[in-house]
Structure 1
Amino acid sequence: MSSLQFYLLFLLCLLSLISSISSLDNKTPISLSLHQFNQNPSPNPWQNLAYLASTSLIRAQHLKNPKPNPNPLLTKSPLFSHAYGGYSISLNFGTPPQKISLLLDTGSDLVWLPCTKNYACKNCTFSNTKTQILPFLPRSSSSSKLIGCKNPKCTWIHTPEFLSNCQNCPPNSTACSQVCPPYAIIYGSGSTAGLLLSETLTFPEKIVSDFGVGCSLFSSNQPAGIAGFGRGPPSLPSQLGLKTFSYCLLSRRFDDTNESSSLILNGGSDSDEKDISYSPFLKNPVAGRSVFSTYYYVQLRKITVGGTRVKIPYHFLWPGSNGNGGTIIDSGTTFTFMVGPVFEQVAREFEMQVRHYKRAYDVETKTGLRPCFNISAEKSVSLPELSFHFKGGAIMSLPLANYFSILGNSDAVCLTVVADGRSGTEISGGPSIIFGNFQQQNYYIEYDLENERLGFRKQTC
């Protein structure tokens, strides 16, 4: 189907949606499951690594150059891991509730759903025939309402200047018969477009009314909806007024299984806080006037390999006056991204310390990862420890499985960190380091929004 045909289909769906909806006029623990999301896994493990490395780079390119586009709650939700590289939760929207599976994304804000019976998704194929896209049906919900052009929620996706031209809207009034114009969002590897709805979000112990959610009619390379957990007004934490949220990411060994870990909203750790290391979040100097305000910046001081400090210029570790540089933590990126100069220093240190293994250059070519080492003749594998040192003394010393790919019957291991410039194109601007979910597996990660800090500890998820 051509781009023009998809555009026309989108317009038809838009008109259909407007027609169908316009007539529709204390801390409590809740638990959600976090799943991995599966899209086109290959039986070849190196092809899978190459795919994840590629999508991590595409995601980094988007995060570095994104396109602008008082009610406490405690919830515990199952969290599932997927070969696609992401983790998903299920949320219940509408009246009566409809359960929708969404990808957890701390690097974006809007919560959106595949929507209506006419939902169209280009290049959204699955190798697993049991996987289906189950869209949300606004017509089946008595609480679905289109958000108007003068509704403050409309400014989440459009500038006040753009909305100053709203038609059929009385001056200085929120009453308006014109709906909020459609949104379009680009995620790097995919995109989506649709309309904003006011809906009811139902948890087992709490019902949240007038929740702003995107009703996507068309998507490309984005077969699942997104639960935005970023720092902007449209995100789920912001709309619910959360003080904290935390998760424990299941090991990648459980991709696409029924095993799950937990996402907790407004809840503390299950064990003593003394077990958790904390480091303050960092404000980007231009966050108030840029899309970088969505991201969770952390104050990384240094990186060590095998106890040796990697020589990284300071301006890569902290965002400068132009907003570029610094480190963010992102659940939507698979392999940690580093700008070329930082990655080269890290890779070089590994290469110097692992000279006792042969380089697997053929595997590097197949996967796009490096360095890779041949371990076919080894009875046991010994590799330097990779550690991230944060302000406040917090140190994240990663388990080997979190930074080297070690496959069951493989004769090689690869560093699961990606960098720009590998394909000949540098990714300019934005964060220098994007800490991905592969490096976060089997860690308890806490976003303490009230105290502006990140907490973490090793934990079997």
Structure 2
Amino acid sequence: MALILFFFLFFSSITLSTSTSTTTSLSLRHHFPRAGDDGNFHLRHAAASSLLRAAHLKHPKKKLSNYSVSPLYPHSYGGYSLTLSFGSPPQTLPLLLDTGSHISWLPCTHSYSCRQCSTNNTPITPTFLPKSSSSSRLIGCSNPSCLWIHPRNFLSDCLSCTNSSSSSGCARVCPPYAIIYGSGSTAGILLSDSLILPSGSVPGFVFGCSVFSDSQPAGGIAGFGRGAPSLPAQLGLRRFSYCLISRRFDDDAAVSGSLVLGGRKQSASADGLRFAPFLPNPSVSDPFSVYYYVALRRISVGGKKVRLPEEIFVPGPSGNGGAIVDSGTTFTYIEAAAFELLVAAFVNRVAGRFNRSSEAEDRTGLPLCFNLPPGKAAATKTELPELAFHFKGGAEMRLPVENSFVLAGPSPAAAAAAAEAPVAEAVCLAILSDGGGAGGGGPAVIIGSFQQQNYYMVYDLERERLGFRRQSCLAS
């Protein structure tokens, strides 16, 4: 299918290294499935998506056939999207902000095919049309950016190919890519074209032109992970930051958070930020090298340290273990052995006040839920223990209750049986594990976007550190 593109594009390639010192601000909108009449679907879907995402981040080269794939609905990832423009004249598309991957790609051409990208299985719109852009170029197999998606030995035939009559059909174009995510995949070829930002046009930006996707978001992916293909690397950014609006504004097009590309240097004293160092990544040949490993040192519940295995905090040479921060994961993931200890700490802290609800756990897919007294959901907010992440250097991310717990509502049976009397509700910890199903590979802790809501997050690439502070992201 990717060969269809050959009729649309010029057979040429551009290699570009750009740098920008300007500051660009872009709106971020939160995309999350509406609960509709079934509030449990909202949570079940988010939990399933988070586990699929965690499994992919831990096994990025493994097709996860042993995991069930949940149905994909519009805005199903629980992620945050931004709008970018590409081409000459500009074509504008929404892309999902993803700090856990480094290849950016767009749904591409009239022939773009997408399975389960929307509720009625119709193709996503809008799509990028290379033939409508005078600045679109195919990436050749001798272009260094082709090595972003293919090992050099895979390109040997392509590099030796000529356009002579004895090798008809030999185009010397970078071979098509296929990218596997936790919940699906996408495939296409590499292009370069102009990326248009509010601060100006960036020519020769390299991205994937996907002609097929399976169970992917309504739009493309903006790769903000570590590595040469990422948007920050291609733009030569020294830092970027974002602020994710609260989940209570799900799918509200009238409000947004923000993404800032570039910006001034920031300090803890002047800006109220706390900083945690990034840890060295595995080698560039390792699939874990695109993640932002952060120096997490301990986790506390209700102000008391939870004694967790040391290996979940310190990644090994290959990237196994340790903690990463990821905008593409919804609910934070913690490996099974450590998660069981965390659950025990929460159960111990609420003993005598709230009882555990296996019924709510079954219907939401979240592994730790508590029953709340009828009509007392709001009043019990201050009675739930605080969850905090503690980082090397003393930085602490003390999560408000709304960043660590989510209301699950009453059971459908109880709600149907109740007349006007208040019914018991449930509250669930917005952190999950897989029961050991994902194995011991990859990061042991993945700090997701639910825990980052209403935090200003700074990725200081120059000084290799993560900055954060609590604030309302509506004002960002």
SS in 2 for 1:164: helix
* Equivalent residue for 1:51, pick from 20, 35, 45: 45
1:311 aligns with 2:345: no
Q: Which residue of 2 aligns with 1:383?
A: 384
CA distance in 2 between partners of 1:164 and 1:127 (Å): 42
SS in 1 for 2:248: helix
CA distance in 2 between partners of 1:367 and 1:248 (Å): 27
Q: Kindly tell me: are residues 145 and 30 of structure 1, through their superposed partners in 2, closer, same or farther at Cα, counting changes over 3 Å?
A: same
Q: Which residue of 2 aligns with 1:77?
A: none
SS in 2 for 1:345: helix
Q: Which residue of 1 aligns with 2:181?
A: 187
CA distance in 1 between partners of 2:283 and 2:428 (Å): 35
> Shift of the alpha carbon at 1:368?
1.7
Gaps of 5+ in 1: 1-10, 70-80, 171-175
Q: Which residue of 2 aligns with 1:147?
A: 139
Native 8 Å contact 1:448 1:455 kept in 2: yes
Q: Kindly tell me: are residues 32 and 199 of structure 1, through their superposed partners in 2, closer, same or farther at Cα, counting changes over 3 Å?
A: same
1:350 aligns with 2:338: no
Q: Which residue of 2 aligns with 1:245?
A: 240
* Equivalent residue for 1:291, pick from 287, 292, 308: 287
CA distance in 2 between partners of 1:92 and 1:146 (Å): 18
1:327 aligns with 2:320: no
Q: Which residue of 1 aligns with 2:440?
A: 428
SS in 2 for 1:208: strand
SS in 1 for 2:237: coil
1:90 aligns with 2:86: no
1:115 aligns with 2:112: no
CA distance in 1 between partners of 2:45 and 2:386 (Å): 25
* Equivalent residue for 1:165, pick from 120, 133, 157: 157
User: 1:272-323 CA deviation, whole Å, 9 max, x = no partner?
Assistant: 6440000110013x33331111000000000000011101111111012343
1:453 aligns with 2:465: yes
Native 8 Å contact 2:279 2:294 kept in 1: yes
> Shift of the alpha carbon at 1:15?
2.2
Q: Which residue of 1 aligns with 2:3?
A: 15
CA distance in 2 between partners of 1:42 and 1:17 (Å): 40
Native 8 Å contact 2:301 2:385 kept in 1: yes
2:310 maps to amino acid:
Y
Q: Which residue of 1 aligns with 2:359?
A: 362
Q: Which moved more, 1:344-353 or 1:32-41?
A: 32-41
1:112 maps to amino acid:
W
Native 8 Å contact 1:40 1:127 kept in 2: no
* Equivalent residue for 1:443, pick from 425, 446, 455: 455
The number of equivalent residue pairs is 429
CA distance in 2 between partners of 1:82 and 1:124 (Å): 9
CA distance in 2 between partners of 1:241 and 1:434 (Å): 26
User: 1:85-141 CA deviation, whole Å, 9 max, x = no partner?
Assistant: 010001110000000100000000101000001100011123799x95210011110
CA distance in 1 between partners of 2:121 and 2:152 (Å): 44
CA distance in 2 between partners of 1:98 and 1:270 (Å): 34
Native 8 Å contact 1:35 1:82 kept in 2: no
> Shift of the alpha carbon at 1:161?
1.1
CA root-mean-square deviation = 2.4
Native 8 Å contact 2:54 2:329 kept in 1: yes
Gaps of 5+ in 2: 14-19, 64-73, 164-169, 411-423
Q: Which residue of 2 aligns with 1:72?
A: none
* Equivalent residue for 2:261, pick from 254, 265, 269: 265
Q: Which moved more, 1:441-450 or 1:15-24?
A: 15-24
Identity of aligned residues (%): 53
SS in 1 for 2:126: coil
- Give TM-score, length-normalised by structure 1: 0.88
> Shift of the alpha carbon at 1:449?
0.1
Q: Kindly tell me: are residues 43 and 267 of structure 1, through their superposed partners in 2, closer, same or farther at Cα, counting changes over 3 Å?
A: farther
Q: Kindly tell me: are residues 429 and 117 of structure 1, through their superposed partners in 2, closer, same or farther at Cα, counting changes over 3 Å?
A: same
CA distance in 1 between partners of 2:120 and 2:357 (Å): 29
Native 8 Å contact 2:409 2:426 kept in 1: no
Q: Which runs of structure 2 are paired with 1:20-35 in the superposition (5 Å)?
A: 20-22=8-10, 27-35=21-29
> Shift of the alpha carbon at 1:235?
0.6
Q: Which residue of 1 aligns with 2:336?
A: 340
Native 8 Å contact 2:244 2:454 kept in 1: yes
- Give TM-score, length-normalised by structure 2: 0.85
Q: Which residue of 2 aligns with 1:400?
A: 401
CA distance in 2 between partners of 1:123 and 1:288 (Å): 33
Q: Which residue of 1 aligns with 2:418?
A: none
Q: Kindly tell me: are residues 456 and 269 of structure 1, through their superposed partners in 2, closer, same or farther at Cα, counting changes over 3 Å?
A: farther
1:160 maps to amino acid:
R
Q: Which moved more, 1:101-110 or 1:253-262?
A: 253-262
Q: Kindly tell me: are residues 231 and 82 of structure 1, through their superposed partners in 2, closer, same or farther at Cα, counting changes over 3 Å?
A: same
Native 8 Å contact 1:122 1:221 kept in 2: yes
Q: Kindly tell me: are residues 132 and 120 of structure 1, through their superposed partners in 2, closer, same or farther at Cα, counting changes over 3 Å?
A: closer
Q: Kindly tell me: are residues 308 and 124 of structure 1, through their superposed partners in 2, closer, same or farther at Cα, counting changes over 3 Å?
A: same
> Shift of the alpha carbon at 1:378?
5.8
Q: Which residue of 2 aligns with 1:124?
A: 117
1:123 maps to amino acid:
Q
SS in 2 for 1:428: coil
CA distance in 1 between partners of 2:62 and 2:148 (Å): 11
Native 8 Å contact 1:41 1:83 kept in 2: no
SS in 1 for 2:469: strand
1:416 aligns with 2:411: no
Q: Kindly tell me: are residues 269 and 243 of structure 1, through their superposed partners in 2, closer, same or farther at Cα, counting changes over 3 Å?
A: closer
User: 1:22-61 CA deviation, whole Å, 9 max, x = no partner?
Assistant: 3688633322111123557553112211110111000000
